[in-house]
A and B are shown apart, each in its own frame.
Chain A
Amino acid sequence: MATPLVELKDMCIAFGGVQAVDRVSVDLFPGEVVGLLGHNGAGKSTLIKMLSGAYKADAGEIRINGEQVHIHSPRDARAHNIETIYQTLALADNLDAASNLFLGRELTSPLGFVDDDAMEAETRKIMGRLNANFSKFHAPVKALSGGQRQSVAIARAVYFNARILIMDEPTAALGVHETQMVAELIQELKKQGLGIFLISHDIHDVFQLCDRIAVMKNGQLVGTALTADVTDDDVLGMIILGKCPPGAVPGPGAFVEGVPAG
């Protein structure tokens, strides 16, 4: 089998004595969408934030293309072409679309000044591809609709040649049409060979978009499975009871008959 694009091995992090993520191992291959599932507080977002640099792992190993890397800050993650679309979108509401798209990576003129016009031109280009109806280039993003804000957040992740994309609830705030738009985008990015981690609560979304799922419960990995090998009910059983169905590979958090999980 090919080298995974990302390997997370035995990732651990604790907050004030609470083991939020406990020895979780997941991998991701190029052109693959892996859905991360679990209850609220299962540790999905926390796990992913260790990859995106928002949190520093207590223990564990991150490998990209087989090479071990150290991610201590969002800058480190970006240097490895890891881009994240956060559930909260992480936009500065008072700034316009271009400023948000390039936040932390502004284009500058030869004198070192921020080149707003060049950034606006680039923003117009990418928004033309992602969301052709987008026209409010000078308004602060708080004046935009949920879908428009989402497209700014997506544009920011896609623009910088991401190889690994993390999407935390990308469709939670969207209408039917925009959800469809995100689905099409994910298909296109897959074709380009990106690896995508998708966090979602929507089982329907997951089955439509993901190649593989990984389910977490109480900070531990219940198991992973190809979406083709499991049913809706199997997945719900994994999320709610921690029970691993026959089609899945059990993890350390899998509930075994007669033995309490963990």
Chain B
Amino acid sequence: MSETALSGQKSPTARSIFAALQLDTRFLGMIGAFIVLCLVFNVFTDGRFLTPRNVFNLTIQTVSVAIMATGMVFVIVTRHIDLSVGSVLATIAAVMAVVQTDVLPDILGLGHPANWILAILAGVVVGVLIGAFQGWMIGYLSIPAFIVTLGGLLVWRNVAWFITSGQTIGPLDDTFTMIGGIGGTMGETGSWIFGIVAVAAALWLQVASRRRKASHGFPIKPAWAEITMATITIIAIFGFVWVLNSYDIPKARLMRIFEASGETLPEGLTMGYGIPYSVVLLIVVAIVMTVVAQRTRLGRYIFATGGNPDAAELSGINTRLLTVKVFAIMGGLAALAAAVAAARLGFSTNDIGTLDELRVIAAAVIGGTALAGGVGTIYGAILGALIMQSLQSGMAMVGVDAPLQNIVVGTVLVLAVLVDIIYRKRTGD
């Protein structure tokens, strides 16, 4: 053990740089792996992988699974599992579809501006209730989460079928479909404004954190480390906006947009899509979930319970109620994911969300969530979802046969966990 640790070639200077930056080296490794993956696919697709168009598509394909993966982090951190999220997503999508195509048009009228938000609210309520119910069975009746959600996997898939009588429901409300991805984007100007606000917020947080640490007299990062971090943040945010803005709306579509408002398309005008609303939703979810994880009692108790359930209970934490809350959050996020998934298709179908539970769990685990509990990050899970999606669509673009694609994805999942185990052993994390 100690010999391997000693022979491990680790440059002390690189280490001290990372220590000064206080970066999560594991997360850096994942980013590195992701970049290598993208570059390899880019070579094999003759440069088609890293085009604005494909980056745009990758982000909107990732959103639904990524939203649920943030909730799965909490579930797995508390030593549970949720196998039902794909089926719950289907039930909620069915509810939202029926509400906006059957129920609300009778009450408010077809195309009423409030239809989309009421449909989503109905879905969120159903999702939270389903999650809380499953959490209650796990927390208060002490049925293992694996069993409750395995049952849920079958139950909710078929509840969805009952709700829709097996039919595909649609077309969905026009405003509703805007959170699906390509149907609703912020445009170039809006995206730049969003980027500037994001940069300002990130920098302000960094300064505020430094001031707070200094006021308590804690050790603070050296100035160069702060500046490096700030530069990376600015480049990342503006780079992301720039890439998404570079994906131009096709000319035919632009002409339709202009015709709809009774104008003609000026010669030579191009417009970029910019940031999709679904990605904004994911960013908001990520921020809220990160704040919950790091800055609230609920988050602290989730991690404490995952680290040592007995200690949490002896500290006066109601771990049963906590389980209900964790699964209710998972249900609510499944509802948001359902809205994105259904809006992206424009319909609610019977097989919507099929196998999503496995993608979501894989994303969380690749993102560094330990099944033993107590460890996991929201940003890791989102990166995990992005890696899974890149792998899948990259292989599809290269032309890898469908069965081989799944073989590779499965293998990568197992290998990722193996690498993680080795990494944790070495660093003693």
B183 at the interface (CB under 8 A from A): no
Q: Which of A8-16, A61-69, A100-108, A224-232 contacts B (4 or more CB under 8 A)?
A: A100-108
- B residues near A (Cβ < 8 Å) are 212-213, 216-218, 291, 294-297, 299-301, 303-308, 310-317, 374-375, 428-429
Q: Could you say which residues of chain B place their CB within 8 Å of the CB of A94?
A: 303-304, 306-308, 374-375
B314 and A93: CB pair below 8 A?
no
A23 at the interface (CB under 8 A from B): no
Q: Could you say which residues of chain B place their CB within 8 Å of the CB of A90?
A: 308, 310-311, 314-315
The residue on A at minimum CB distance from B428 is A143
Separation of A93 and B375 alpha carbons in the complex (Å): 10
A54 and B307: CB pair below 8 A?
no
B300 and A106: CB pair below 8 A?
yes
- A residues near B (Cβ < 8 Å) are 52-54, 73-75, 78, 84, 86, 88-95, 99-100, 103-104, 106, 108, 112-114, 116-118, 120-121, 140, 143
A73 and B300: CB pair below 8 A?
no
B216 and A121: CB pair below 8 A?
yes
With A74-B314, A104-B315, A120-B218 as known contacts, state yes or no: A114 contacts B375, CB within 8 Å: no
B296 and A114: CB pair below 8 A?
yes
With A75-B316, A117-B213, A121-B216 as known contacts, state yes or no: A93 contacts B300, CB within 8 Å: no
Separation of A4 and B267 alpha carbons in the complex (Å): 93
Q: Could you say which residues of chain B place their CB within 8 Å of the CB of A54?
A: 313-314
Q: Could you say which residues of chain B place their CB within 8 Å of the CB of A112?
A: 296
Separation of A143 and B428 alpha carbons in the complex (Å): 8
With A114-B296, A114-B300 as known contacts, state yes or no: A95 contacts B307, CB within 8 Å: yes
Q: Could you say which residues of chain A place their CB within 8 Å of the CB of B295?
A: 113-114, 116
The residue on B at minimum CB distance from A104 is B315
The residue on B at minimum CB distance from A141 is B307
Separation of A84 and B310 alpha carbons in the complex (Å): 14
A104 and B317: CB pair below 8 A?
yes
Report the minimum CB–CB distance from B241 to chain A (whole Å): 29
Q: Could you say which residues of chain A place their CB within 8 Å of the CB of B304?
A: 92, 94-95, 99, 103
Q: Could you say which residues of chain B place their CB within 8 Å of the CB of A92?
A: 303-305, 307-308, 311-312, 374
Closest 4 CB pairs of A and B: A94-B307, A104-B315, A92-B307, A94-B374
B315 and A93: CB pair below 8 A?
no
Separation of A132 and B238 alpha carbons in the complex (Å): 47
